[in-house]
Structure 1
Amino acid sequence: MAFGSFDSKGSGHAMSEINMVPLIDVMLVLLVIFIITAPMLSHSIKINVPQVSAEPVEQEPVIIDLAVDDIGQIFWNDQPLSLEALTERFKLESVKDPQPQLRIRADVNTRYETLAEVMGSARAGGMKRMGFVTKPAEPAPEPASN
């Protein structure tokens, strides 16, 4: 706020000073309130927490390697298996804890229908962790520069 004087001798411009005393008083009151209430907010309860001395058990994930060749023959960890027996085998493996990882490798010329039947059989058998193994493409040869 600007206050001026009532005498006629004044220069006519307003005084532009802020009275800081009330602001300092408010800040000191807030500081005292925070000093008093802060210890009350940080109360704690003493309890004895059990100490763990054993290290966690690391389990190696079991991997099922399922290969499908170009004529549709299925191999379970390099052992031939028929498509009919595949669902029952998946049901036996899916109840294990932890559930094994299923990695499907297929030949380039394998029919999509065969792969769809294998994946449907895995889903029907309860397998949840399924992935495909692929071979990265070989880089194209660089053109010869003259």
Structure 2
Amino acid sequence: MAMSGGSDDGQPMMDINTTPLIDVMLVLLIMFIITIPIQTHAVKVDLPVNDPNQKQPAIDPVKNKVSIDPTGAIFWNGTPVDRVRLQQYLEQSVTMNPEPELHFQPDPKAKYEVVDQVLAVIKRSNVTKLGFIGNEQYYNDF
């Protein structure tokens, strides 16, 4: 039976009582949220096994570093090389797609003649991505 709307006209109230409907909907929503299985997102990746005996590639496909120490020795990614081997590595790296960056870092005490010769080798190999590393160490000299 419907109750009177508060007026004394004696007419029954024609609006539906939505409070129980909302309560039931909230209970159903909470039950639905609780019963949803927890979703686990897993990406299966086969990681390489670290083998200390494995030889590292001479040319890194991302970036390579040519450095010169104070005695004039030339290093390719930390391995000592001569100018001929440096030229071979540079020619191989230029043919890679995309071409890896070449970072050039001479020691401040290295002879200019050796640095100039290495830069000539780099220029002859047509390297397009070249960056000088360590120039900030000279900012107080000038």
| TM-score where L is the length of structure 1 | 0.49
Corresponding residue for residue 103 of structure 1? 103
Corresponding residue for residue 27 of structure 1? none
d(CA) in 2 for partners of 1:138, 1:87: 28
Tell me: CA distance 1:136–1:79, structure 2 relative to 1, closer, same or farther (3 Å).
same
Corresponding residue for residue 89 of structure 2? 89
Aligned-pair Cα RMSD in Å: 2.3
Q: Can you give the 5+ residue segments of structure 2 that lack an aligned partner in the other structure? A: 1-60
User: What is the Cα deviation at residue 108 of structure 1?
Assistant: 0.8
Q: Note the 1:36-47 alignment, pairs <5 A.
A: none
Q: Can you give the 5+ residue segments of structure 1 that lack an aligned partner in the other structure? A: 1-60, 141-146
Q: Note the 1:54-93 alignment, pairs <5 A.
A: 62-93=62-93
- Indicate the larger mover: 109-118 or 129-138: 129-138
d(CA) in 2 for partners of 1:66, 1:95: 18
Deviant stretches of 4+, over 2 Å: 135-140
Equivalent pairs counted in the alignment come to: 80
What CA deviation, in whole Å up to 9, does each residue of 1:25-75 have, x standing for no partner? xxxxxxxxxxxxxxxxxxxxxxxxxxxxxxxxxxxx711111100111011
Equivalent residue of 1:72, what SS?
Answer: coil
d(CA) in 2 for partners of 1:132, 1:73: 18
Identity of aligned residues (%): 24
Larger radius of gyration: 1
* Letter paired with 1:102: L
d(CA) in 1 for partners of 2:76, 2:118: 11
